[in-house]
Structure 1
Amino acid sequence: MSVRTFRASVFTLAIAAAAALGIAAPASAAGADYVALGDSYSSGVGAGSYTSESGNCMRSTNAYPYLWSNANNPSSFKFVACSGATTASVASGQLSALTSSTTLVSVTAGGNDVGFADVMQTCVLQSEATCVNRVNTAVSQMQNSLPGALDSLYAGIRSRAPQAHVVVLGYPRFYKLSGSCIAGLTETERGSINNASDVLNGVLAKRAADAGFTFSSVVDEFTGHELCSGDAWIHSVSIPITNSYHPKAIGQSNGYLPAFRSVA
């Protein structure tokens, strides 16, 4: 047996073993049946160029799912991520896009379950103490109620797409501490918000691993491009207000897309 034949045989056996164990192998990009689920970080709020059919879901042609699809030409692409989505609304309103033929899924969900928008509004408009208390409430939700909600969502994804390679993406840290900002939130508030992002990403990573999914952090990609970095890939408080604290187009193309592409 040649070395090439031996390696091919080993690869075939490995794939067969993975299938027997119920472990989904990564999808082949060109032949993937790809479904993009999730909230505004997947739909592309803040990145502009929204599709007319998406309405208030604000799905952008600059969002990482759309960019990945354009670059890889999957056999099918369903983009159903929606601004404002929670784990429950992804489960109730988006999972119908999945089928037994789906081979690749991406999803961001969890930020809205813990009141992401309200946290940022509180911190921008109210005192440091009120901000930190609101962040701590969100962290408590991340540690107590969110894991079960994620488990339920992930079980629904696996039930509808049993063969799919599922990628759960996280959220960036928002602030570079000791950065270039001279106004706005205090350093204490910025540090508290960053810590909450780390807790949230840790919960997402653990629940994804327990579900047999792949977690991909975007923290490394956004490091050096947070708010107060001087080269932010995230909108600060903006007009329209919906853009606030969401990735710009460059944050999707240079942050989320590489994080997804590396594991898709």
Structure 2
Amino acid sequence: MSKRMPRFAALTSSLLLAAGAALFGAGQASAAAQADFGYVALGDSYSSGLGAGGYDTASGDCKRTTRAYPALWAAAHAPQTFSFTACSGARTGDVLANQLAPLNSGTDLVSITVGGNDAGFSDVMTTCVLQSESSCITRVNQAKAYVDSTLPGQLDKVYNAIDSRAPAARVVVIGYPRFYKLAGTCTTGLTEGERSAINGAADHLNAAIAKRAADHGFTYASVVGAFTGHEICSGSPWLHSLNWLNVPESYHPTAAGHSGGYLPVLTNAA
């Protein structure tokens, strides 16, 4: 269980609204509940929105977009402050070096996805697409070994830094979806063995992230359920398959994946 109560939910609870309405009127009470709420969105391409399109040119290679789930949440809830520092390609070290400046004692909510780049999942996908099934599974197992041996310590550094800078914040650590629907509609490309191995690696990564989040008193939020039925090889995918015209967007959530998958998960956890 998280050591942090969901402050946004508490501030907007019916009890506080009722009390505020008696003093200020219902509309003013609702505004007051959000007046000092600060939200900071950290992480990698799954947070910045790579794959969703509509990128903010000012964000450069970070590929941030208003179609990403952090921006969608902020648009829906209107926090007083919203800092969006997530960046495509970010590893744990990049979060530490470049993304934490907006955090402070007044930060109420932090969301983050990170760990996939540390584990080398881009290289995993490249290996699986271009090489044999045995090479793919070997590379998957190497990534899983890194997740077991090294990633927990890297996540601890990030989580400790967040806790130190924003001790009152509710921190929602969000995982990654499974990429493939097995026995789905795909008739070419990877083998079923490769797809199964990749899904298993995603589960392995998510389990490690969830464990570290729980040990720090953070809330872990899984998107696996939200994306079930919307994987690659499903009838309604929320993830890009391999896109030779825009390779970086491959294996990332679409705009629908952010609005229909990640956004509801963050909303329920925040």
Q: What's the secondary structure of 2:39's corresponding residue?
A: strand
Which of 9, 18, 26 lines up with 2:6 in the alignment?
Answer: 26
The equivalent residue for 2:29 is none
The equivalent residue for 1:15 is none
The equivalent residue for 1:195 is 200
Residue 28 (structure 1) shift = 1.4
> Which shifted more, 26-35 or 177-186?
26-35
The equivalent residue for 1:219 is 224
Which of 46, 56, 60 lines up with 1:55 in the alignment?
Answer: 60
The equivalent residue for 1:68 is 73
Residue 194 (structure 1) shift = 0.2
The equivalent residue for 1:245 is 251
The equivalent residue for 1:16 is none
Inter-partner Cα distance in structure 2 for 1:103 and 1:36: 11
Inter-partner Cα distance in structure 2 for 1:183 and 1:147: 36
> Which shifted more, 76-85 or 25-34?
25-34
User: What number of residue pairs does the alignment pair up?
Assistant: 244
Inter-partner Cα distance in structure 1 for 2:152 and 2:268: 25
Give the residue type in structure 1 aligned to 2:254: K
Give the residue type in structure 1 aligned to 2:251: Y
Which of 67, 82, 85 lines up with 1:80 in the alignment?
Answer: 85
Residue 24 (structure 1) shift = 2.4
C-alpha contact 2:3 2:218 (8 A) present in aligned 1 = no
C-alpha contact 2:53 2:255 (8 A) present in aligned 1 = yes
The equivalent residue for 2:149 is 144
Inter-partner Cα distance in structure 1 for 2:82 and 2:131: 43
Give the residue type in structure 2 aligned to 1:87: T
Give the residue type in structure 2 aligned to 1:244: S
Residue 96 (structure 1) shift = 1.1
Q: What's the secondary structure of 1:209's corresponding residue?
A: helix
Q: What's the secondary structure of 1:68's corresponding residue?
A: helix
The equivalent residue for 2:263 is 257
Residue 203 (structure 1) shift = 0.5
Query: 1:115-146 CA distances to partner (integer Å, 9 max, x unpaired)?
Result: 11111011001110000000000000111100
Residue 27 (structure 1) shift = 2.5
After superposition, where does 1:56-135 map in structure 2 within 5 Å? 56-135=61-140
Inter-partner Cα distance in structure 1 for 2:180 and 2:3: 37
Instruction: State the superposition RMSD in angstroms.
Output: 1.3
Which sections of structure 1, spanning at least 5 residues, go unmatched? 1-21
The equivalent residue for 1:169 is 174
Give the residue type in structure 1 aligned to 2:268: S
Which sections of structure 2, spanning at least 5 residues, go unmatched? 10-33
Query: 1:151-199 CA distances to partner (integer Å, 9 max, x unpaired)?
Result: 1110000000010000000000000011110000000000000000000
Residue 216 (structure 1) shift = 0.2
Query: 1:50-73 CA distances to partner (integer Å, 9 max, x unpaired)?
Result: 112111000011000000000000
Inter-partner Cα distance in structure 1 for 2:92 and 2:212: 13
Residue 23 (structure 1) shift = 3.1
Give the residue type in structure 1 aligned to 2:168: Q
Runs (4+) off by over 3 Å: none
> Which shifted more, 205-214 or 30-39?
30-39
- Does residue 206 (structure 1) correspond to residue 211 (structure 2)? The answer is yes
Inter-partner Cα distance in structure 2 for 1:257 and 1:178: 28
Q: What's the secondary structure of 1:37's corresponding residue?
A: strand
Q: What's the secondary structure of 1:36's corresponding residue?
A: strand
Query: 1:192-239 CA distances to partner (integer Å, 9 max, x unpaired)?
Result: 000000001100110000000000000000000001112110000112
The equivalent residue for 1:4 is none
Inter-partner Cα distance in structure 2 for 1:136 and 1:126: 15
